[in-house]
Structure 1
Amino acid sequence: MRGRGRVGLALILALLASPVLALDKPRDFVPPPPEQVPNVREQTRAVMIELASYAKKRDPNFQVLMRGGVELLVKGDWEVQWEALHDPSSSGFYRRLPERSVFRPLVKLLDGLVIDGLYCGANVLDKPLADAIKERKADDAQIDSEKKIGIHRPPIPVEMGPFSNDPAVELRRAAEIKEKLDKAERVRRIVYAADAIRAEGRAVLSVDACTGPAGIETALRGAARDRVTTFAAVGTRLDQPPRPHPPGENAGEVLSLNTIHNWLPLLRSDGFGSKGRFVEAISNSNYDMVVIDVAHRGVDFLVKADIAQMKFKKLGPRRLVLAVMPVGRAYDWRWYWQKGWEVGAPPFLFAHDDQPGTYIADVGSAEWKALLGKYIAGVMDLGFDGVMFDDIETYLWLEELMPIDR
Structure 2
Amino acid sequence: MTTRNPFLSAAALACLLTASSCSKDLSLTEKNHQVIAGKTQLQVVNYRQEMRNFIQEISAWAKQQQNGFLIVAQNSSELLTNDGDAAGTVNTAYIKALDGVGREELYYGYDNSDDKPTPKADSDEWLAFCKVAASQHLRVLTTDYCFTPGKVANSYQLNQKNGFISFAASHRELDNIPAGAPFNENSNNINTLADARNFLYLINSGSFGSRTRFLDSLKATNYDVIVMDAFPESDTVHWDKSLITSLKTKKNGGKRIVLAYMSMGQAEQYRWYWKAAWVKNPPAWLETMDPYWKGNYYIRYWMPEWKAFIYGNSASYTQKLIDAGFDGAYLDPVDGSQHWEEKP
Tell me the percent identity.
29
Partner of 1:43: 50
Cα shift at 1:333: 1.4
Partner of 2:91: 103
- Cα-to-partner distance string for 1:161-183 (whole Å, 9 max, x where unaligned): xxxxxxxxxxxxxxxxxx97xx6
State the structure with bigger RCO (CA 8 A, min sep 6), 1 or 2: 1
Partner of 2:115: none
Distance 1:274 1:341 in 2: 31
Partner of 1:358: 296
Within a 5 Å distance, the mapping from 1:129-278 to structure 2 comes to 184=121, 186-187=122-123, 189-241=125-177, 243=179, 245-278=181-214
SS at match of 1:205: strand
Cα pair 1:118 1:206 within 8 Å, conserved: yes
Cα pair 1:343 1:350 within 8 Å, conserved: no
Cα shift at 1:298: 4.2
Distance 1:224 1:188 in 2: 16
- Cα-to-partner distance string for 1:228-266 (whole Å, 9 max, x where unaligned): 111013242211135462121111111111111110111
Partner of 2:218: 282
What is the number of equivalent residue pairs in this alignment? 303
List alignment gaps of at least 5 residues for structure 1. 14-34, 79-98, 124-178
Cα shift at 1:384: 0.5
CA, structure 1 residues 105+366, in 2 after alignment: closer, same or farther (shift >3 Å)? same
Cα pair 2:267 2:298 within 8 Å, conserved: yes
CA, structure 1 residues 49+77, in 2 after alignment: closer, same or farther (shift >3 Å)? closer
Larger radius of gyration between Structure 1 and Structure 2? 1
- Cα-to-partner distance string for 1:26-84 (whole Å, 9 max, x where unaligned): xxxxxxxxx86521111111010000111223333222111102111112369xxxxxx
Partner of 1:174: none
Partner of 1:297: 233
Question: Which residue type is aligned with residue 333 of structure 2?
Answer: D
1:2 and 2:9 are equivalent in the alignment: no
Distance 1:65 1:242 in 2: 23
Distance 2:329 2:234 in 1: 16
CA, structure 1 residues 310+211, in 2 after alignment: closer, same or farther (shift >3 Å)? closer
Distance 2:243 2:31 in 1: 39
Partner of 2:65: 58
Cα pair 2:107 2:123 within 8 Å, conserved: no
Distance 1:221 1:117 in 2: 15
TM-score, normalization by structure 2: 0.80
SS at match of 1:241: coil
Distance 2:59 2:215 in 1: 27
SS at match of 1:45: helix
Question: Which residue type is aligned with residue 287 of structure 2?
Answer: F
Cα shift at 1:341: 2.1
Cα pair 1:209 1:232 within 8 Å, conserved: yes
Aligned match of 1:386 in 316, 328, 341? 328
Distance 2:17 2:209 in 1: 53
